[in-house]
Amino acid sequence: MAQLQINTTQNVNINFTAASVGERLLAYLVDWVIKIAYIIVTYQIVFNLLKVEELVFGMDRWSQAAIYVSFYLPVIFYSLIFETLLDGQTPGKRVLKIKVVKIDGYQASLADFVVRWFFRIIDLNIASGIVALIAIVTSKKNQRLGDITAGTAVIALKNNVNISHTILEDLKDNYTPSYPNVIKLSDNDARIIKDTFTTAKASKDYPTLIKLRNKLIEVVDIKDVKQKTDIEFIDVILKDYNYYTQNM
């Protein structure tokens, strides 16, 4: 699956998994089931119970068309309405646990959703969605044309989460902390530190580890570093933070 890295306004990199073609297609089908159900119910109420056809019988063709179309506006603006109200999700996306986000770290706005909705004309209504399918498959971030234009992407929310994805650390019962000043950090600081540390350690990004170590020494106000390596030092900082916050 394609990985999507979002750099927030606080210069924090957050990694997400882009929603797959299959997930987006299933969400699209769920939404269409809801639309069809709405059309059937509306038809039964409007045309059979309310006898709207009799009410508009004497009107001109354009007026009749305007009245009929008004009943189906929720279907036309379905994705725009729900993505705006549900913060980037339609009922189908919510069922599949996927969501529209901005790739620059900002929250998607109404203008972004309008652009995505407008480009559905090209993405989904031309050649029965082939344009959208080709765009998603060929895009590095699994984006259709509407996403590319709006600067958005659809991410999967059901990532497997374990202790390595949180600020929690496994501590032994006899663990002895080294740096009491770590209580100066916040939970958000600890999360950023752990995310940066994990990524840099996995990619052997030693310059980043050095910068992170120096920043921690400055912020936590550490006079005497007891560990020999950057990795050992940062690991102890995270464990100390967990020790003190769990015992406060």
Question: Hey, where are the domains in the chain?
Answer: 3-156, 163-246
CA distances from 142 to 8, 154, 178 (A): 20, 8, 45
Looking at the chain, the whole-number percentage of residues with pLDDT higher than 90 is 30
Token pair for residue 87? 């913060």
pLDDT at 184 over 90: no
Distance CA 154, CA 93 (A): 9
Q: What is the pLDDT of residue 163?
A: 40
Distance CA 129, CA 202 (A): 39
pTM greater than 0.95: no
pLDDT at 211 over 60: yes
Distance CA 117, CA 111 (A): 10
Tens-digit pLDDT profile for residues 116-148: 999 988 888 766 678 888 888 888 888 999 999
Three-state SS at 155: strand
Token pair for residue 22? 């299959």
Confidence of residue 160 (pLDDT cuts 50, 70, 90): very low
Q: What is the pLDDT of residue 170?
A: 61
Between strands 152-156 and 13-18, the pairing is antiparallel
Q: What is the pLDDT of residue 105?
A: 59
Across 136-165, average pLDDT: 79
Tens-digit pLDDT profile for residues 51-77: 766 666 667 778 777 877 888 899 999
